[in-house]
Structure 1
Amino acid sequence: MFSLTPYSYPTSKSVKEILISSVAAGVLVYLFLIIFQPFGTENFHHPYKYLILFPYTLIFGAAFFASNLCVSRFKDWNIASELLKIFLILILGSVLSYFYNSLFISHVVLSFENYGYMFLYSLAVGIPISAIYILSRYIYLKNSHENTVRNTTSQPIEPPLTLTKTILTISVNTTELKIPENDFICIQSMENYCTLYYLDNNTVKKIWLRISLSNILKQVQTQTINRCHRSYIVNLEKVKNIKGNAQSYKLILPEMDFDIPVSRSFISIIIPRLKHLKR
């Protein structure tokens, strides 16, 4: 279980998907309560029993919605982060449920001991529901991201027929480099250093520069040269093919002996431009 935590977990970019998944999570909580009636719920008799239980749907659904909306802004997310998010949702849901139960149903005095019971109840209900939620949402989002690039990966990406003559100027301290855009291959970043790969008389050359990736991106970014990962900038004209899946897309460049990863946060930028170049 713990060995899986470093692996990436897809996040939502659509508010509609977040809303639907959050409503589904809330409904699962409600169905669990009315079907299994745990923790003495079966002994709670009231003509509007099911209506009284319904706010738990709103509580947990809102907790899921707020957390997923915040998470959608993160570029990198993994299973460990997702599990931590679920745990925080259960804490938030248990606090709100405790106040609702104490003030509107049980009418008991607020105390940490009573909240402790509510927290344990929330864990008992939330853990199986969260397991279903995490697995189903992972499958849906993974398939959604894979469908985004399926049309692109079906055929090799051919270089454009018309070559640009743009000259890139890269200034680092007292060093100034001028490289034709067509000869630019990629940049790999490690901390405050960048390794620039380019063609010189059809031979791959590389040079180390003391500059951050964000600063060098301002100097080289064009319609075809883009950032695709927190550590990489790539010339999309040099991309021959794509491999991998929603967890690990990689760009294949014939000139390089390594593949260039694509972060999920850059898929919406990189894939459409690759499709445009393939036309």
Structure 2
Amino acid sequence: MTFLNRQIHFTAAPKRKVLVGFILFLFLSFVIIFVEPFDTDQYHSDHKILVLSGFGILIFFVFVIYSSFENLWYLKFRKVWLVSHEIASTILFFVVAGSVLYLYNGLMINQGSYSITSHLLYLKNIVLLMIPVFAPVMLYLRQQFGERIVPLPINSVLLTGENKNEVLSLEKGNLLFIKAFENYVEIHFLDEQDQVVSRTFRQTLSNVYQQIPFLEKCHRSYLVNMTTAKEIIGNSQSAKISFIHGEKTIPLSKTYYKQIKNRLVQK
């Protein structure tokens, strides 16, 4: 089980997906046209090379489209891709790709009719036998062109903006609050000297909340980290939140007053 839980690379960037797909297209086309497996040499057509290249072209498109949907799985696991994920995804890819190639071979080349029996036989007799040849190349390329993101420590958070180089990694206990204005957010946090500092990113408050869901909304323009909040100053009509560190306060709207007050009591 240790091997299955090992973190490996994942090809996430669209341009790299296209590059891997293109190499797979060249590889499969070469095998089918020149190695001529599965009695390919018996096939005769005025456009034989073009028709046989169709298998490689389909693999290119299937890989790019499939791996784009695969990104949803990658994000679900917080960009930590394991050997077990790669195995499961590879099996599913061959089922999908093999089914597309079956339709091309049966309906377009042989001009036959579809049947579930012939479909399953194609997967068993053709696709399954090609896996030892094709899979090592595909897996090697995915690792070569992939990324491996080291997960953040459990007590850390990562904030990103829309502009390049807008990335901030913080310990949860050092984040105070986030303020939104126009198309930007202002992130207030403690630096290494426990001084309250801020950084401005081009980002929306809703997107920040998706990145850091443990924050609480206390105002239409503010998100607050309740673990660093100290107390509520004033009544529900003009309340403010103060913090354990620093002298800054932020507004607390009447809409969120009761909710935030209860959270502070619980803390």
TM-score where L is the length of structure 2: 0.52
Q: Report 1:58-207 matches (<5 A).
A: 58-73=57-72, 74=75, 75-120=79-124, 121-141=126-146, 181-182=191-192
Aligned to 1:16: 15
Q: Call closer, same or farther: CA 1:169–1:51 in 2, change over 3 Å.
A: closer
Deviation at 1:80, TM superposition (A): 1.5
Distance in 2, Cα, partners of 1:116 & 1:124: 13
Which range is displaced more, 106-115 or 17-26? 106-115
Larger relative contact order (Cα-Cα within 8 Å, sequence gap ≥ 6): 1
Stretches of structure 2 that go unaligned for 5 or more consecutive residues are: 151-173, 178-188, 195-211, 217-222, 226-267
Identical-pair percentage:
14
Counterpart residue number, 2:24: 25
2-structure distance, mates of 1:168, 1:82: 35
TM-score, structure 1 as length reference = 0.50
Q: 1:26 to 1:126 in 2, by over 3 A?
A: farther
Aligned residues: 163
Deviation at 1:219, TM superposition (A): 3.9
Q: For residues 182-210 of structure 1, give each alpha carbon's deviation from its aligned partner in whole angstroms, at most 9, with x where no partner exists.
A: 466xxxxxxxxxxxxxxxxxxxxxxxxxx
Give, in whole Å, the separation in 2 of the partners of 1:41 and 1:124: 15
Residue 48 of structure 1 is matched in structure 2 by 47
> Is the Cα contact below 8 Å between 2:66 and 2:93 reproduced in 1?
yes
In structure 2, relative to structure 1, the CA distance for the partners of 1:3 and 1:37 (3 Å cut) is farther
1:32 and 1:125 in contact (8 A); partners too = no
> Does the CA-based 8 Å contact 2:33-2:53 persist in structure 1?
no
Query: Relative to 1, partners in 2 of residues 1:94 and 1:141: Cα closer, same or farther, differing over 3 Å?
Result: closer
- Alignment RMSD, CA only? 3.1
- 2-side partners of 1:96 and 1:35: how far apart? 22
- Amino acid corresponding to residue 95 of structure 2 in structure 1: I
Report if aligned partners of 1:98, 1:118 keep a CA contact under 8 Å in 2. yes
C-alpha distance in structure 1 between counterparts of 2:191 and 2:81, whole Å: 33
Give the residue type in structure 2 aligned to 1:215: F
Alpha-carbon deviation of 1:20?
Answer: 0.6
Aligned to 1:108, the other structure's residue is in SS state coil
Please say which structure displays the higher CA radius of gyration. 2
- Secondary structure (helix, strand or coil) at the match of 1:215 reads coil
